[in-house]
């Protein structure tokens, strides 16, 4: 069936094989591509439809959100919010796998339309109505899954302002939680935070300050607490939180009725404080309270809750491809942001470009005169950067054509690309250089004394560069000026691999001293030694949802839950050193290459 998007159409249902509505004559596809099948929801500003993308071979499902043109100031404000959602989704959906991606934004005479990724599942209000009140384990899972998403959007200076069960969808295939409906979100500039605005939010879930037209990052945390309260008690929070004078009493009575343990209770109580100063100030503070003590306790990280309270998600990985073709050690692998392409670099002086889904070889790139030590694929999936010998080469990823050959005076072995694709950071023997591929500029000079820089990583906001070297240190730089901000010490051997969490808050380092350490990127403080393995750490990778950390060494890849430090899976069907690993943007695929000259690809299931 095709469904007409004209709100005034008397008979909107149409057969699949017609292109125009048989009742009103309007085209049945947006942009001659997105065809609505049926309505699936209706809210204050319009309707939501299940649709198909007819330009894709798979005819993938998507969602069309329609805003009706109305008259008056209220309608104009609603239209602003609808356009604002498009802006936020375009920015956030590309960078985090638990936020729906925006496919299109269309304005027609019959209304405004957003086309976005379809999340096949139920929202948590529907789940509550069908299955009853959540138990404590499900609330822990909710917090562990969603708080990192809030940390990410807050790092992008966005306040959601309408956190509630209706706006959290559990994907059916893997139970992953998605945060949706950014229509009332707010960009949190200092000016905006100081200004009283429109009262927006849902009664019961909206923090008290939102009734005054103000919203802060901690306002979203209140909404999360109210969501947990509703799911635990099956009592709408508006029935309890309207009596501010007896807030603590009502909260305590209802939480006691839910039968939750003494460790979850203080977390929810702090989330739900009416006074902002008494509430959690950031998602990072909540995460610190959710983390459990690692297997080997360290003095750096006193944690609040015992091991039994936080249960990492179950993980299992299955090898789906073993790729051969390199004639020497594989030193580097990289995966494109659409999870379609895998690139591998080897000491056979070649780069191979593979189809990640099928394992088929697309291109073999030649030109380097020695090992390719590092690869990076641009966020727009157009270019591939490779480091080896005294050159950095930039390739057209689709055609395999060499676009640029940057020559250096000394050997280079690490490269990273900023999230906007504007800056390439290149590290090597006593050198770090940056380069803008669009202008050819090489802005800052990183002039402090350096050893051999073995790893570089750029923060998601594009402002900060981290570098690790054989001097056993990590240096934190301002990427735009080259200013050295911090020098991190603690490793006793070469820092060979670095990764920055998608929210930009956490830096993870892997060293030849066999340890993995976790740092606060902004304060340069060591959070804890996260893991210690029996061999040196060659490579680390963080999944885009901030949950999974992969660590490679000799003949093994250890999979950890990043929030808890718990080892949740081990890939051990490997031989020799695993030199490089990469995780796809959806967190479901892991690729690795090493001294056995083969590439293995695993799928999470």
Any idea how long the chain is? 605
User: CA-CA distance, 21 to 126, in Å (whole number)?
Assistant: 33
Ordered strands of the 515-520 beta sheet? 495-500, 506-511, 515-520, 525-532
**CA dihedral sign, ordered 500, 501, 505, 507:** negative
Whether 131 contacts 123, CB under 8 Å: no
Closest CA to 159 of 276, 288, 268: 276
User: Residue 36's beta-bridge partner residues?
Assistant: 51
Those residues with Cβ within 8 angstroms of residue 386's Cβ, 6 or more apart along the chain or in another chain: 332, 345, 351, 365, 368, 372, 374, 375, 392, 393, 395, 415
Helix (H, G, I), strand (E, B) or coil at 127: helix
Q: State the DSSP code for 597.
A: S
| DSSP secondary structure, 155-185, as one string | HTTEE----SGGGEEEETTT--EEE---TT-
SS3 270: helix
Q: Which two tokens stand for residue 223?
A: 């909404």
- Alpha-carbon distance 162 to 381, whole Å? 33
Coil, strand or helix: which one is 491?
A: coil
Place of tokens 């799928």: 603
3-state helix, strand, coil in the chain (%, to 5): 20, 35, 45
Q: Determine the Cα–Cα distance for residues 417 and 413; give it in Å rounded to an integer.
A: 14
Please state, in angstroms and as integers, the Cα–Cα distance from residue 566 to each residue in 454, 582, 589, following that order: 27, 20, 20
Q: What 3-state DSSP class applies to 75?
A: helix
* List 17, 120, 135, 162, catalytic entry: 162
CA distance 299 to 395: 47
Q: What's the N-to-C CA distance of the chain in angstroms?
A: 33
Q: How is residue 286 written in tokens?
A: 């909540």
Question: Cα(481)–Cα(50) distance, rounded to whole angstroms?
Answer: 47
Largest CA-CA distance found in the chain, in angstroms, rounded: 74
Q: What is the DSSP letter of 91?
A: H
Tokens of 593: 């290459």
User: Do the Cβ atoms of 339 and 589 come closer than 8 Å?
Assistant: yes
Sheet holding 474-478, edge to edge: 453-458, 464-469, 474-478, 484-488
Q: Is 16 marked active-site?
A: no
Three-state DSSP at 549 gives strand
Which residues have a catalytic role annotated? 162
């Amino acid at each position: 069936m095709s469904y007409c998007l004209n709100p005034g159409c008397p008979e909107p249902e149409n057969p699949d094989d017609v292109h125009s509505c048989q009742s009103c004559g309007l085209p049945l596809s947006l942009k001659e591509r997105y065809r609505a099948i049926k309505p699936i929801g209706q809210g204050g500003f319009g309707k939501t439809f299940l649709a198909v993308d007819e330009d894709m071979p798979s005819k993938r499902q998507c969602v069309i959100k329609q805003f009706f043109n109305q008259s008056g100031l209220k309608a104009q404000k609603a239209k602003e919010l609808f356009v604002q959602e498009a802006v936020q989704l375009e920015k956030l959906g590309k960078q985090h796998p638990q936020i729906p991606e925006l496919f299109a934004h269309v304005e027609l005479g019959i209304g405004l339309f957003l086309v976005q990724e379809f999340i096949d599942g139920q929202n948590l209000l529907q789940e509550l109505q069908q299955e009853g009140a959540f138990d404590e384990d499900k609330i822990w899972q909710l917090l562990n899954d969603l708080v990192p998403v809030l940390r990410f959007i807050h790092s992008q200076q966005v306040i959601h302002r309408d956190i509630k069960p209706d706006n959290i969808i559990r994907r059916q295939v893997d139970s992953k939680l998605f945060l949706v409906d950014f229509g009332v979100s707010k960009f949190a500039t200092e000016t905006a935070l100081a200004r009283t605005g429109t009262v927006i939010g849902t009664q019961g879930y909206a923090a008290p300050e939102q009734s005054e037209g103000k919203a802060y990052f901690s306002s979203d945390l209140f909404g999360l607490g109210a969501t947990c309260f509703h799911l635990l008690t099956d009592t709408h929070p508006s029935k309890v939180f309207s009596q501010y004078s007896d807030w603590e009493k009502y909260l305590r009575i209802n939480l006691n009725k839910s039968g939750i343990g003494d460790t979850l209770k203080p977390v929810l109580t702090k989330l739900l404080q009416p006074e902002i100063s008494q509430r959690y100030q950031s998602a990072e503070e909540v995460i610190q309270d959710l983390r459990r003590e690692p297997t080997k306790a360290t003095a750096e990280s006193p944690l609040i809750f015992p091991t039994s309270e936080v249960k990492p998600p179950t993980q299992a990985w299955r090898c789906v491809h073993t790729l051969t073709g390199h004639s020497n050690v594989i030193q580097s692998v990289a995966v494109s942001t659409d999870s379609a392409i895998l690139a591998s670099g080897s000491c056979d002086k070649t780069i191979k470009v593979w189809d990640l889904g099928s394992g088929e070889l697309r291109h073999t790139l030649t030109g380097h005169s020695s090992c390719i030590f590092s690869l990076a694929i641009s966020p727009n999936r157009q270019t591939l950067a490779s480091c080896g010998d005294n050159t950095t080469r930039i390739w057209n990823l689709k055609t395999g054509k060499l676009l640029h050959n940057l020559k250096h005076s000394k050997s280079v072995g690490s490269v990273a690309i900023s999230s906007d694709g504007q800056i390439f950071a290149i590290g090597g023997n006593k050198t770090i250089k940056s380069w803008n591929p669009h202008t050819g500029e090489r802005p800052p000079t990183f002039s402090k004394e350096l050893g051999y820089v073995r790893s570089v990583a750029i923060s998601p906001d594009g402002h900060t560069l981290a570098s690790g070297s054989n001097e056993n240190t990590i240096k934190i730089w301002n990427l735009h000026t080259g200013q050295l901000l911090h020098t991190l010490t603690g490793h006793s051997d070469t820092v060979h691999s670095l990764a920055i969490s998608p929210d930009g808050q956490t830096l993870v380092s892997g060293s030849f001293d066999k340890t993995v350490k976790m740092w606060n990127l902004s304060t340069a403080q060591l959070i804890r030694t996260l893991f210690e393995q029996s061999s040196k750490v060659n490579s680390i990778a963080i999944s885009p949802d901030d949950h999974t950390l992969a660590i490679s060494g000799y003949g093994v890849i250890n999979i950890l839950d990043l929030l808890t430090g718990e080892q949740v899976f081990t890939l051990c069907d490997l031989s020799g050193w695993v030199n490089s690993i990469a995780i796809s943007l959806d967190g479901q695929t892991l690729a690795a290459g090493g001294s056995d000259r083969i590439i293995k690809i695993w799928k999470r299931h």
